[in-house]
Amino acid sequence: MSTQHQPTLRVLSILEIISTNNQDYTLSDLSRHLDIPTSTLSPILQTLREERYLGFQENTRSYSLGTRLFEIGSRVQNSITYQKISGILSDVVLACGETCHFAVLDGGEVFFLSTVDSPHPVRMQCASGRRVPAYATAIGKALLRNRSLEELKHLYPQGLRPLTARTITDFEQLHAAVNGNDMFLYESEESAESICCIAVPIYQRGAVVAASSVATPIFRYDAEKKMAIESALKEARIQFEQIAHFFTF
């Protein structure tokens, strides 16, 4: 028997659908997509609008994300923990010249919490808040470190859908990739063409709680670049694990 509070779930489902699909919705749109009667939805939307969690466009009679959500997100990004994470990522970028990410596992997906971009004009673009299947990325493999074959199959009951021609689609192969002895996890054009990545898992009390990775265009990737990235990530991992007890995500 579920213990979840249904009125609260309705509020969350409204915010989730508007934020996930990056578009505005009318009352009838939301009612249809969420299967909630308009009479039930209307007072919820009105309250969210009055409290600025939702915006409202009079000309289209549609709802969008409100300024209150941006205020909350800004406070999160300005928290001491996130500032420390961003500082470590910036040090990695300074050391190797490539884009650096920090992420956690959410279900079977990588959820990117923070990214510091490479100074190069040609670089990987991946904004904070983005999600990608963990099995198709180096950072995702780091987050899946030491998962059993059964656990991996449970995370992906529909199988491993390819994102590129190089994506791992076999569970046995994925299991072998995430259970190696190397400190680093690797990916080459498995999630995006012409991009390769190196990642490290971040541990707290023996469990993987997050991961960090560096992504670089293949044309800049050589033995010297690989060494610079691995050296920077090795140092970053030490620093991340020193503050891991502050992680609450």
Tell me which residue range forms the domain holding 99. 79-246
Cα torsion through 191, 137, 173, 223, rounded to 10: 90
Percent above pLDDT 90 for the chain: 71
Is residue 184 one of the residues assigned to a domain? Answer: yes
Same domain, yes or no: 166 and 200:
yes
Which tens digits make up the pLDDT trace of 103-149?
999 999 999 999 999 988 876 666 666 889 999 999 999 999 999 99
Q: Domain containing 23 — which CATH number?
A: 1.10.10.10
Q: Among residues 37, 70, 103, which one ends one of the domains?
A: 70
Is residue 113 one of the residues assigned to a domain? Answer: yes
Write down the pLDDT at residue 128.
62
State residue 15 phi and psi, 5-degree precision: -65, -40
Q: Are 123 and 109 in contact (CB under 8 A)?
A: no
Q: Are 14 and 34 in contact (CB under 8 A)?
A: yes
DSSP 166: T
Q: What is the mean pLDDT of residues 26-45?
A: 93
Is residue 176 one of the residues assigned to a domain? Answer: yes
Domains identified in the chain, total number = 2
Contacts of 152 (CB under 8 A, 6+ apart): 135, 144, 171, 174, 175, 178
Q: Are 163 and 191 in contact (CB under 8 A)?
A: yes
Over 60: is that where the pLDDT of 40 sits? yes
Count of helices and strands (H, E) across the chain:
9, 9
Write down the pLDDT at residue 49.
93
State residue 130 phi and psi, 5-degree precision: -75, 150
Measure CA 180 to chain center. Answer: 23
Same domain, yes or no: 98 and 141:
yes
Same domain, yes or no: 220 and 172:
yes
Average pLDDT, the chain: 91
Contacts of 180 (CB under 8 A, 6+ apart): none
Same domain, yes or no: 64 and 109:
no
Q: Among residues 70, 99, 122, which one ends one of the domains?
A: 70
Confidence of residue 203 (pLDDT cuts 50, 70, 90): very high
Write down the pLDDT at residue 155.
96
Is residue 1 one of the residues assigned to a domain? Answer: no
Same domain, yes or no: 94 and 206:
yes
Q: Are 175 and 156 in contact (CB under 8 A)?
A: no
H-type helices in the chain, by residue range? Answer: 6-21, 27-34, 38-50, 67-77, 80-96, 138-143, 149-155, 171-178, 223-243
Same domain, yes or no: 49 and 24:
yes
Is residue 188 one of the residues assigned to a domain? Answer: yes
Percent above pLDDT 70 for the chain: 94
Over 80: is that where the pLDDT of 18 sits? yes
